[in-house]
Structure 1
Amino acid sequence: MRTGETVETGETVETGETVETGEAGTAVEIDEVKAAIRARVLEHAGALTGLSHRIHAHPETAFEEHRAAEWTAEVLRSAGFEVIAGAGGLPTAFSASYGSGPVTVAFCAEYDALPGMGHACGHNVIAAAAAGAGLALAPSAGELGLTVKVVGTPAEERGGGKALLLEAGVFDGVDAAMMVHPGPFETVRFRSFALGTLDVEFLGRPAHATLAPHEGRNAADAMTLAQVAIGLLRQQLPRDWHVHGVVTAAGEAPNVIPARAAASYEIRAARAEDLAVLRARVEDCFRGAATATGCELNLTRPEPDYLDFRDDAELAGLYAANAAALGRPAPVEREPFAMTDMANVSHAVRAIHPMLDIGSGGAVPHDPAFAEAAAAPAADRALLDAAVMLAWTAADLARS
């Protein structure tokens, strides 16, 4: 959809319920609040879809999202949000706040792209929806007793940006954190694997493969032994424990015993507790190979572990009711199928991470066809619905 067009979402919900506000002590009709929120989303429709398209047209990968972060922050700054750039010490993160109510709700805006594939995960939609929820909710923050935050979170695809922001205290004092993720179907209760990454380096000793092989220590042999050990380990692993990797270096000439071999591995499990056990067993495979070949071993973790997502049942129920009120597709239940650093936030803060159907025609995230769908008219309509649903859910939380 082109910037500036108006997108119609679902019908206004008439609930007749009331909320008690903290400061003034007056009652506010929740249906009037929700109607105002929806009207504000439609008022900002051009700016929000324009933001989504702009981020989509200029993809930036992990920790390089300088333009996307500034564009998203500027939309909020121009609406009166107090914006802190470089939140948590990450140059492409930000924290934007509005209001000073006792309940703090944070909307997470992802905006990193995939290397070589652009926005094939639709993070442009996530950023615009989070900004839209903040813009729509902010004018009602006082009467609802809310502090509204939008947190710009870089490096979800690789790097664990939210985990780093959590460790840096950016989510301190947040009562609930929310976001939506585009997909080929609609879900409310998101499930994810826990994910760990591991960089491996064996260091041996070079030697001529014919004249003096006894002088060498073969790093490529160490990698081979480790891979065999991991392959045998897989036979005894539970079904939801996974190990996979690629060798990135294993020598340069056939007549020289390789002095260095390297690999990049990922491990996955349904629960964070299981991930820790799996990591120890996989690392022991590499340690054993180093001992057997006389090589040195370097094991490093290039990013924080991604934990398993643990959603909040009350927030999920509120979101589901609002999705139904907007006429969104019926949600489906899915087994764990993805990973997200939003899961780390969910271990510390009440959180939800629903999936949003953007009409991708069956294309799934990380597919080039999904990148095309993420800037199509159906995605524009979905992101405006998402902004409404997130803001409505925050208003319901304040009421409860």
Structure 2
Amino acid sequence: MSNALKAKIAAAVGTVDRELIALSNQLHDDPELGWQEHRSAAAVSGVLEAHGFELDRRYLGLETAFRAVRLPESSVRFTVGFLAEYDALPGLGHACGHNLISAMSVGGAIALAAVADELGIAVEVIGTPAEEGGGGKIELLERGAFTNLNLALMAHPAPVDVAEAEPFAVTHWHVQYDGQAAHAAAYPERGTNANDAFLVAQLAIALLRQQLPSSVRVHGVQTCGGEAPNAIPERTEGRWYVRADTTAELIALEDRVLKCFEAGALATGAKLTVTPESKRYAEMRTDAEALDWYRRNALALGRSFDANPADVTMNRASTDMGNVSQVVNAIHPYIGVGGTASNHQAAFADACVGQAAERTLRDGATALAWTALDAALSRTHTN
């Protein structure tokens, strides 16, 4: 029975192949940043609506979120949720491959729906905005999303295939110093240099790193550092991430990093304001059995998990899927697009379209749908 159903799923992916590629290319060519993905959300949900999914736009009050549902003709025995991400990176477009994530989830959902009636499977696609630092899934989760799912899944592009996601927990901060402008030559004593505050903080963080464990990452970028060399900067801003293996370790670390920023304010007299850009992203709690099904299904499609260990570390990237996994059974495998570029490089955006990316799209959609099928067949007797 399983093999026949999987053949039907694979055929269904083939039927919508051109639509999926067109969707992926459309998202890639028109990147939108987090919380601004109006055209992207409309494009992704529009394909699902055309294939019989009932659409809930502006899901749970979030303008660029959606929920698309296809219920079986029989009673519901198992509910699968494919998660779609479609936000892009500032200046880099889809250099994390979210165009492929959306297309794979849409393809997997449409294909699973082809066998859902006879098995009592409810198929959902949840459009989740602002993964790149905005925590869209966390906002949805706190409004009641995902909790009805028996399995939540998605696949994320990477240079190579890696089955298990092991993301860092992460805190996202916006950091701002406010000082006092003055002419740097004529009235330097009247100024309070907000840029110096940032320099002191960055030096303190650099020194702190010597005493941090290997399970921790601290990094960021200064987004505003002054306007003119002869004017003492009165305001500086930056975005900083603090990461650790677990949420508990992250919380313990945050105060040490905050003290570095406080040192900048203390040394210069500038006023410090630290604002969270989202709620904390949690570590991943992977559904080991479902991940094993995914691994077997990917291997059956000709994928390989034998990459050089130095190339597989994209699976450490933080994701708000970790928060979802704390509540429902979930997997978040990585699927390779080939080439030498890695995520968040301009060349990786280029790798997320074209012939190799199209094969990744087909394989990802098929493997996700097969995995959802395996879970439904195995677990419906307990639901």
Q: TM-score, structure 1 length as denominator?
A: 0.85
5+ residue gaps, structure 2, are 379-383
Sequence identity (%): 47
In structure 2, the CA distance between the partners of 1:378 and 1:261, relative to structure 1 (3 Å rule), is closer
Query: How large is the RMSD of aligned CA atoms in angstroms?
Result: 2.3
Larger radius of gyration: 1
Q: Which residue in the other structure is 2:372 paired with?
A: 394
390-399 vs 216-225, greater mean Cα deviation: 216-225
324-333 vs 67-76, greater mean Cα deviation: 324-333
Which of 160, 166, 170 matches 2:145? 170
Counterpart CA distance in 1 for 2:230 and 2:369 is 65
Tell me if the contact between 1:88 and 1:164 (Cα under 8 Å) persists in the aligned partners.
no
Query: Does the alignment pair 1:243 with 2:222?
Result: no
Tell me if the contact between 2:79 and 2:149 (Cα under 8 Å) persists in the aligned partners.
yes
Mapping of residues 10-159 of structure 1, within 5 Å: 29-99=1-71, 101-159=76-134
Tell me if the contact between 1:144 and 1:395 (Cα under 8 Å) persists in the aligned partners.
no
Please report how far the alpha carbon of residue 202 of structure 1 lies from its aligned counterpart in structure 2 after TM superposition: 2.3
Which of 283, 298, 302 matches 2:258? 283
In structure 2, the CA distance between the partners of 1:234 and 1:31, relative to structure 1 (3 Å rule), is same
Tell me if the contact between 2:8 and 2:114 (Cα under 8 Å) persists in the aligned partners.
no
Q: Which residue in the other structure is 2:336 paired with?
A: 357
Counterpart CA distance in 2 for 1:257 and 1:184 is 44
Mapping of residues 296-335 of structure 1, within 5 Å: 296-332=271-307, 334-335=312-313
Equivalent residue letter for 1:146: I
Q: Which residue in the other structure is 2:381 paired with?
A: none
Please report how far the alpha carbon of residue 293 of structure 1 lies from its aligned counterpart in structure 2 after TM superposition: 4.0
In structure 2, the CA distance between the partners of 1:144 and 1:369, relative to structure 1 (3 Å rule), is same
Which of 307, 314, 317 matches 1:338? 317
Q: How many residues align?
A: 371
Tell me if the contact between 2:163 and 2:305 (Cα under 8 Å) persists in the aligned partners.
no
SS in structure 1 of the partner of residue 317 of structure 2: coil
Counterpart CA distance in 1 for 2:84 and 2:371 is 17
Please report how far the alpha carbon of residue 129 of structure 1 lies from its aligned counterpart in structure 2 after TM superposition: 1.0
Query: Does the alignment pair 1:379 with 2:351?
Result: no
Please report how far the alpha carbon of residue 208 of structure 1 lies from its aligned counterpart in structure 2 after TM superposition: 6.1
Please report how far the alpha carbon of residue 267 of structure 1 lies from its aligned counterpart in structure 2 after TM superposition: 1.5
Please report how far the alpha carbon of residue 85 of structure 1 lies from its aligned counterpart in structure 2 after TM superposition: 0.7
In structure 2, the CA distance between the partners of 1:343 and 1:251, relative to structure 1 (3 Å rule), is same
Please report how far the alpha carbon of residue 315 of structure 1 lies from its aligned counterpart in structure 2 after TM superposition: 0.8
5+ residue gaps, structure 1, are 1-28
Which of 145, 154, 179 matches 1:204? 179
Tell me if the contact between 1:243 and 1:267 (Cα under 8 Å) persists in the aligned partners.
yes
133-142 vs 200-209, greater mean Cα deviation: 200-209
Mapping of residues 182-261 of structure 1, within 5 Å: 182-206=157-181, 216-252=191-227, 257-261=232-236
Counterpart CA distance in 1 for 2:203 and 2:330 is 40
SS in structure 1 of the partner of residue 149 of structure 2: coil
Deviations 1:278-329 (A, max 9, x none): 2111112223443454433211012232222232101101111111222222
SS in structure 2 of the partner of residue 64 of structure 1: coil
More helix by share: 2
Deviations 1:370-390 (A, max 9, x none): 222212122212211211111
Q: Which residue in the other structure is 1:270 paired with?
A: 245
